[in-house]
Amino acid sequence: MGQSKPYRAKALVVEDDPMQREMIGLLLEESEFDVIACESAEAAELVLQGNGDNVVLMMTDVELAGHMTGVELAYAAKKYRPDLDVIVTSGKPLRQRLPEGAMFWAKPWAPLDVIRVAEMKASELSHRGWRRSS
C-alpha cells in the first residue's frame, strides 16, 4: 500500500543550461520543495497558467531558450502570482528594472544562497500551516 505524500511547496526553475537547471533543482529538493524545471520562459509561463497556485518560488536566468527573457517572465509571473518569490540571475549586469519584490542575483552566486532562500521560504510556509514532508 502506498503512503499519501504530504503536500509540498513547488519551486519553478527556469534555466537553459541543463547543468545549472539540475543543480538548482537538487538544491531546492534538498530543502523539501518539489521542483518544476523549464528551459524557456514560455514553458514556465504555461506552468504558471496551469498549476501555478502551488508554485511559491521561482528562480530564472535572464537569457533563456525561446523568445522571452527571464525579466519578462518575472513580470508575467508576478501578474499571475503577486506573492510569488522571484529570483532573477545573470552573469551580466542587469539593465532592465525588475517587478516589485523580485530579487537579482549576479552570477556566480553561491549554492548556499539557494538553500538559504529555500529554507527561509519553507519556514515561512510552515508558519502559515503548510506541512513539510518528513
Place of cell 508558519: 127
pLDDT on residue 132? 43
Closest CA to 130 of 10, 29, 9: 9
Q: Residue 134: what pLDDT? A: 38
At 5 the pLDDT is: 52
Paired residues of 86 in beta bridges: 58
- The pLDDT score that the predictor gives to residue 50 is 86
In order along the chain (134 residues), what is the average pLDDT of each group of 10 residues? Answer: 63 96 96 94 94 86 96 96 95 95 96 94 80 43
Helix segments in the chain, DSSP class H: 18-30, 41-51, 70-80, 111-127
